Every structure is written in structure tokens, then in C-alpha cells.
Structure 1
């Protein structure tokens, strides 16, 4: 079992989480960056996400989450019409060590941010080509 040289997130109660933390620690080549996200740091991350004020800032936070924790965030329009922020798919890619609760709190914080900043939602839709001019 690996012994990382950083403070690790506390283990979730047995049977309540599907993070597979122990399996990750047993892998000699496992990406343990996600285990650096302590509960206190997660609260800071959630506050940071809720404070996002622009599309560029959202992309920056997304890049930092990947670089520091290995978290891959996907935000895309849903299959049906996007009339509200609820029409967006906001998911974190499956990752060993990523707590079930964290998989829910990060997308919820992003939705909260987008509800307060509709311009970011429009920028996401524009980046997906929904506002672009069709070739013709």
C-alpha cells in the first residue's frame, strides 16, 4: 500500500461511499492527487466555485481542478432544450478516490454559480456551437 507524503482526506464511513480509496492506495501507479482534497479544502473549493464570475474563470477553475486533483469536469447541453441551468449536464468523470459526496457537491456548486451568472451559461452554450451561425 502506498504511503503518500501529504495529508489525506479522511476515509468515508464503511459502505456509504463508492470512492474505492483503498483500491487506489494499493495501486503502485495510482493517481492519488484526489486524496489531497480534505473536507476543509473541499469547502474552500466549493466556495471558490460559487464565486466564479466569468466563463474564463470557470475554465481556469476547471483546469486547476484537473492539474491539482485529477478531477475531469464535463459541462454540456442536455439532450432536450436548455431553458434553464437544469438543462445542462454537469458531471465529474468517474475516478477512484473521488468521494460520492464530492461528485454531488461540485456540480451543485457550479449550478448555483450559473444560476447567478447567466452570461456564463450562454458562453458554455456558445462554446458548444448552439449560438454559432450554421454554415450555409
Structure 2
């Protein structure tokens, strides 16, 4: 991201999304990635009704959706759904982001990014 936008995540989050910042170099990846994975066309990412329809479709077709970002919690839910014992579970942490490469964001930056991902929050609630 810093290579394309030439700024760190904090600066990006707090900047108006005009010009280069309105472009997604990874299109269609990034914005509403989860909804894209479930088949929502990128043209509908900003349509609240299309997003809600897709969420209702997901709820009707799946009793459990696991999220990599919430891996530990997802594994516990899967264990319960499959009636497994704790001894049936094994977790090996591979390809995790190194601690020194993680970015801390200020509260205003978190809120700015949160405004960009309202539909995602609706999906996981």
C-alpha cells in the first residue's frame, strides 16, 4: 500500500479519498473483500440494499462462517459445530505478520477507516 500511495496507513486513513487516494490498486480486492468472496459484484459495494440482500442470502445459506481475522474464535465455533473435543484441535501459526511490521493507528485513524468499512461491520455483527 505504501508503495502505491506513497504514505503510511495513518496518513492514508486521515486523508480525503480524492485523486490517487480514490483509486484501489488491488481492485476488486480490499474494499468489501468478504462480500466480494461471497459473490457481490464490486459495482454494488456502495449499495446498502445490495449489501443487505447479500448478507441475508449468506445467513440463509450458511450456519457458520469463519473469519481468518478472528481465527481463534472461529476455531472454537467450528469445534462446537462439529462436536469435536479440544484434543481434536491443532493450531500452527504460520505466515503471521511479524510484530515489528505491525502498525499502530491513532483513534481518529481507526474511526476514519471504520467509516470506510461500515458494510463489513454490518456483515460480521
Structure 2-normalised TM-score? Answer: 0.31
Point out the structure with the larger helix share.
2
Higher RCO (CA-CA < 8 Å; seq separation 6+): 2
